[in-house]
Amino acid sequence: MSKPKDKANETEQEIDAETEAESGAKPEPVVQKGPRREARITVGWKVTVEKLSERSHKLPEALQAVYERVKVDGSDVGKRAQLTIRDVSMNGAFLEGEPLPLLSRVAMVWNVPDFRKVEAVGLVMWRRKEACTVEHNGKSVELPSGFGVLFEWMSLESRLEIVRRIARDIRD
């Protein structure tokens, strides 16, 4: 069962909506709760994270001269940490804790209550290097340090369970 929504997450959603409105960007049409592009639920699940190495790609010789690729930070491969998933969607999650370098590839394992252990692999797409306080609607809101992961791989059954929980949360 998901925890009640916290003020920090609601504020992040409101700030995202205001930024979209100011930039003129329009979210893709999806079922959503709140202003975010993708429906998500607020949770407090403990997760084990391990930093993985970059996947190697053997290119044909003709392509090697003209092909460029983003290089990810290769330090700390194999480093593990116990973090907390604060919100999750079918395509990604925000993990509270010490942030990893951008584009780090990570393996994650966590238990979903009344379901089972979930395993996923993802990429760090954004990070908040340290906790901060923002003013929003006349109130101070504490935002924790952490990072956003885009899921690269997760079983279909696990994604469907997350979608079921989001749908249940939207109905309530």
**Is residue 117 in a domain?**
yes
pLDDT band at 62 (very low <50, low <70, confident <90, very high): confident
Q: The domain that contains 141 carries what CATH number?
A: 2.40.10.220
In a domain, 61, yes or no: no
| pLDDT score for 35 | 57
Q: For residues 48 and 65, which has the higher predicted lDDT (pLDDT)?
A: 48
Give the sign of the dihedral formed by CA 13, CA 96, CA 123, CA 151: negative
User: Does residue 44 sit within a domain?
Assistant: yes
Show the domain range for 125. 7-21+29-53+77-171
What's the whole-number mean pLDDT along residues 82-90? 96
**Is 71 within a domain?**
no
The answer to whether residues 148 and 94 touch, using CB atoms and an 8 Å cutoff, is yes
Q: Which residues pair with 50 in a beta bridge?
A: 80, 107
Query: Residue 122: its pLDDT value, please?
Result: 95
Q: Into how many domains does the chain fold?
A: 1
User: How confident is the model over 9-20, as pLDDT tens digits?
Assistant: 444 444 444 434
Whether 100 has a pLDDT exceeding 80, the answer reads yes
**Does residue 59 sit within a domain?**
no
pTM score of the predicted model: 0.72
pLDDT at residue 23 in the model: 40
- State the Cα–Cα distance between residues 154 and 57, nearest whole angstrom: 21
CB count within 10 Å of CB 43 equals 22
For residue 81, being part of any structural domain is answered with: yes
Amino acid at 106: V
DSSP-assigned beta bridge partners for residue 134: 141
In a domain, 130, yes or no: yes
Question: Mean pLDDT over residues 123-133, rounded?
Answer: 95
Structure tokens at 54: 């970059």
Look at residue 62 and give its three-state secondary structure: helix
Whole-angstrom Cα distance, residue 4 to residue 87?
Answer: 11
Is residue 127 helix, strand or coil? strand
Per-residue pLDDT tens over the stretch 26-53: 333 333 345 557 899 999 999 999 999 8
Please tell me the predicted confidence (pLDDT) of residue 70: 77
Residue 36 lies in a domain: yes
The structure tokens listed for 118 are 């979930």
